[in-house]
Amino acid sequence: MQTNNELIKIFHGPQHPGITGNMSVELDLLGETIKGARTHVGYLHRGFEKLIERRTIIQAFTIVCRICVPEPDPNEENFARAVENLADIEISQRAKYIRVMVLEMARLGALFLWMGGQSGSIGLGTIGQWSVHDRDLILDLFEELTGGRVYHMYIYPGGVRRELPNGFLDRLSQLLDYLESRLPLYDNVFFDNSSFKKRAIGIGVVDANEALKNGYVGQVLRGCGIKRDVRKDNPYLVYDQLDFEIPTFEGGDVYARAMVRRGEIRESIKILRQVIKQMPEDGLIMQKIPKHRKFKLKKDDTFVATESARGEFAYYMAGDGTEKIRRMQVKGPSLIHGFTLLEKLLIDEELSNVAMIMNSLGICPPEMER
Amino acid sequence: MIESLKQQYNIEQKESRLFKLIIKKEEFLKTLSFISSSSNFITLSQIACADWIEDEIFKLNYILTTKERDKNLMIELEIPREESKLPTLLNFFPQAEVMERDLHEMYGIEFIGNPTLYDFALENWKEIPPMRREFDTLAYVNEHFDFRKGREDNRDVKVEIKRRRAEAKRLKNANK
């Protein structure tokens, strides 16, 4: 900050309706224009990675989902897959399909919630009420399947924890019909809304030439027209057996990232319809796994990644031959987007655009401070 | 591309799309510089650190990803816990800045050349870096925080289980 009193310093967050969680951005302002930005986290530091070092597999499993509130399931999937790699467990085809179903339902829920956040950041409050209601219908199904609405604790090393309730796939199919019927309404009030376009086009522009090298992921990449998605590039579960597209958009701005998400909602619905159709009727949902204290990981390490609704979620995991995890290191999309990218994008932007840019990047503090 | 790297380095294939290269600390900059500039592993996805306190080392894994994002290469090296220093990778990967800041705070690793090794998630931390194995979270909590009021009846679970088992046994014996 300069010392000639030209700049004013303010903290955008952690107590601010336009901040995406418990974090703050320290801004140096010249009038309304941002001249410097620095991200601060630590308001939500719960020490997941440290806690996990003291825990056995089932004990660690109960806190893994809490790393990301809007979309906990990619964490469960990463955790389960990393443990399976280190314990040489192969899961059944049916369990893989159920996991894809859960992950895509979670993606839809997260995208609807994002729509509420993004529209709220520019004052379009009604859209949030609609989209959060529609997300609640997805949560109803989650509750029926797992017993939990937000944290599911369902994807466990070896498969999934419960069989699908009777008629669940039919109810999911009906919900997809309903959600699909809502999409033109969202187009009218949000994606094609001229107030949103006027605010979002040309704001928070990411340089496509730097995007890949700098480690940006998810909609930030795809909003620059770069077709990258872990589900296609490095497929896991049964994504290589499903037919879906990776939506992209040109421009690299807030609007492009929103339009990518618009496409992703449609693709998720398409994936879920295929899952319902192709779901194997037979197959163990859970492999025979060792009991609590006998569940040991070999002395080795692994790296797994899952495409979450906000981009690649990756875990490094090391075992040491005991029943406890030697090290689990989380890398969510927000680590790079919330620091390196956000601090860069905010320079020379207006103060009123901070919330909109943060929402478009999908920044979530718990995965930064783990 | 991985095939040409295999000719030069001893790369192990861990899974179909996951590879591992173990290097010595002295070869660190040379190897990272070569691989990031002459192969398609252009992105640094993660710097993972594990504390192997029994061997007095940290194992660091620099996880690189291809331009196509279809393969990952883990470059592993060991550094001594007590003299934990490494050159920064800022010149090759801008995202290393925040990853190194994180590891500096959590493990106390010095990344020479990184100018932003200030507070990450903690504020004015004066204790042992918290992710080091010798840092005892429970002892720290007991020393620095009070339990919330209203939980005075909170009992140690293990003691309570033992007590209940003994009680059940006693009742069983009494009924015989």
Helix/strand/coil (H, E, C) string of chain A? CCCCCCCEEEEECCCCCCCCCCCEEEEEEECCEEEEEEEECCCCCCCHHHHHHCCEHHHHHHHHHHHCCCCCHHHHHHHHHHHHHHHCCCCCHHHHHHHHHHHHHHHHHHHHHHHHHHHHHCCCHHHHHHHHHHHHHHHHHHHHHHCCCCCCCCEECCEECCCCCCCHHHHHHHHHHHHHHHHHHHHHHHHCCHHHHHHHCCCCCCCHHHHCCCCCCHHHHHCCCCCCCHHHHCCCCCHHHCCCCCCCCCCCCHHHHHHHHHHHHHHHHHHHHHHHHHCCCCCCCECCCCCHHHCCCCCCEEEEEEEECCEEEEEEEEECCCCEEEEEEEECCHHHHHHHHHHHHCCCCEHHHHHHHHHHHCCCCHHHHC
For residue A263, name the pLDDT band (cuts at 50, 70, 90): very high
Picking from B49, B63, B137, the nearest residue to A47 by CB comes out as B137
Tell whether the model's pLDDT for residue B152 goes beyond 80.
no
Cβ–Cβ gap A47/B130 under 8 Å = yes
Give per-residue pLDDT as tens, A294-314.
899 999 999 999 999 999 999
- pTM equals 0.91
Residue A233 CA, chain-centre distance (Å), reads 17
Q: Which residue carries 């339009």 as its tokens? A: A259
Whole-number pLDDT of residue B141: 87
End-to-end alpha carbon distance in chain A: 30
Could you tell me what percent of chain A has a pLDDT over 70?
Answer: 99
Q: Which of A316, A320, A330, A344 to mutate to probe the B interface, most B CBs <10 Å?
A: A316
pLDDT for A2 equals 52
pLDDT at A168 over 60: yes
- For residue B67, list chain A residues with Cβ-Cβ distance below 8 A: 212
Domain extents in chain B: 2-175
Asked if B86 contacts B31 with a C-beta cutoff of 8 angstroms, the reply is no
Q: Are strands B57-66 and B110-112 parallel, antiparallel or unpaired?
A: unpaired
Instruction: Note the maximum CA span of chain A.
Output: 73
d(CA A17, CA A352) in angstroms, rounded, equals 12
Distance CA A317, CA A64 (A): 13
SS3 B25: helix
- Please give the biggest Cα pair distance in chain B: 80
The two tokens of residue A296 are 């040991």
Residue B164 pLDDT > 80: yes
Percent residues over pLDDT 70 in chain B: 97
Which residues face B22 on adjacent strands?
B76
Q: In the numeric block, which tokens belong to residue B71? A: 């393969």
On whether the CB atoms of residues B53 and B42 are closer than 8 A, the answer is: no
Residue A1, pLDDT above cutoff 60: no
Q: How many CA atoms lie within 13 A of A29 on its CB side?
A: 16
If you average pLDDT over residues A72-85, what whole number do you get? 94
Q: How far, in Å, CA of B5 to CA of B7, rounded? A: 5
Chain centroid to Cα B38, Å, comes to 28
| pLDDT of A317 over the 60 cut | yes
pLDDT of residue B6: 81
Both tokens assigned to B36: 């990031």
Residue-level pLDDT at A60:
92
Among A41, A53, A222, A303, most B C-beta atoms within 10 A, so best to mutate, is A303
- For A107-153, the pLDDT digits (tens) are 999 999 999 989 988 888 889 999 999 999 999 999 999 999 999 99
Structural domains of chain A sorted by starting position, each given as residue range(s) with its CATH number in brackets: 8-369 (1.10.645.10)
Residue partners of A369: CB distance under 8 A and separation at least 6 = A41, A42, A44, A45, A46, B120, B121
> Which two tokens mark A263?
């496409």
Indicate whether A4 pLDDT > 80.
no
3-state helix, strand, coil in chain B (%, to 5): 35, 25, 40
Q: Peptide bond preceding A74: is omega within 30 degrees of 0, i.e. cis?
A: no
In which region does residue A85 sit, left (phi positive, over 0), alpha (psi from -120 to 50) or beta (all else)? alpha
Which residues of A sit within 8 Å Cβ distance of B? 41-42, 45, 47, 49-51, 53-54, 85, 212-215, 228, 230, 233-234, 301-303, 305, 312, 314, 316, 318, 326-327, 329, 331, 335-336, 339-340, 368-369
pLDDT at B176: 78
Is A340's CB within 8 Å of B71's CB? no
**What pLDDT, on the 0 to 100 scale, is given for residue B38?**
83
Cα distances (Å, whole numbers) of residue A84 to A69, A81, A318, B144: 24, 5, 12, 38
The neighbouring-strand residues paired with B41 are B66
Please, which residues bridge with residue B112 across strands? B87
Angle, helices A254-278/A168-186, rounded to nearest 10 degrees: 160
- What is the predicted pLDDT for the residue at B154? 67
Nearest chain A residue to B102 by CA: give it: A369
- Does the pLDDT value for residue B51 go beyond 90? yes
Alpha carbons A353 and A346: distance in angstroms, whole number: 8
Terminal-residue alpha carbon distance, chain B: 76
Q: Which of A234, A326, A361 to mutate to test the interface with B (most CBs of B within 10 A)?
A: A234
Q: Phi then psi for B57, rounded to 5 degrees?
A: -135, 160
Domain B2-175 falls in which CATH fold?
Answer: Beta Polymerase; domain 2 (3.30.460)
pLDDT digits (tens, 9 = 90+) for B97-146: 999 999 999 999 999 999 988 888 888 888 899 999 999 988 888 888 88
Calculated CA dihedral for residues A70, A75, A77, A82, nearest 10 degrees: 170
Q: A-chain residues within 8 Å CB-CB of B48?
A: 301, 303, 316, 318, 327, 329
The token pair at A191 is 């994606």
Q: Contact at 8 Å (CB) between A357 and A204?
A: yes
* Contact state of B14 with A302 under an 8 Å Cβ cutoff: yes
CA distance B160 to B147: 19
CA-based nearest residue to B78, from B140, B14, B20, B26 = B26
> In chain B, what residues touch A339 (CB-CB under 8 Å)?
97-98
